[in-house]
Amino acid sequence: MGKAKRLKRLRKEKKSFEEAFSDGFTRNFIKEIKNSPMWDEMVAEFGEKRALELLKECKAEIRPGLPTEME
């Protein structure tokens, strides 16, 4: 594959800022849940396999245009 073709593919695959930020936020959110007492409760109630499935369904959604200052 030539350089031009490779660069074109990379540009096409590049995520927007909101998508990239949302993905990172989701990963951090899942990591924090796993390190919290809530995770133990989820495992006790649903079992580890189902709790992992529920975590995979979590997705942080970033909506641009919301006010940045809390009043």
* 0.85 exceeded by pTM: no
Position 17 scores a pLDDT of 74
Position 36 scores a pLDDT of 93
Position 3 scores a pLDDT of 85
Q: Give CA–CA dist 50/45, Å, rounded.
A: 9
* Per-residue pLDDT tens listing for the chain (71 residues): 688 888 788 777 677 777 778 888 899 999 999 999 999 999 999 999 999 999 889 887 777 676 666 55
Mention every residue, 6+ apart, whose C-beta is less than 8 A from residue 23.
15
Position 70 scores a pLDDT of 55
Q: Give CA–CA dist 54/48, Å, rounded.
A: 10
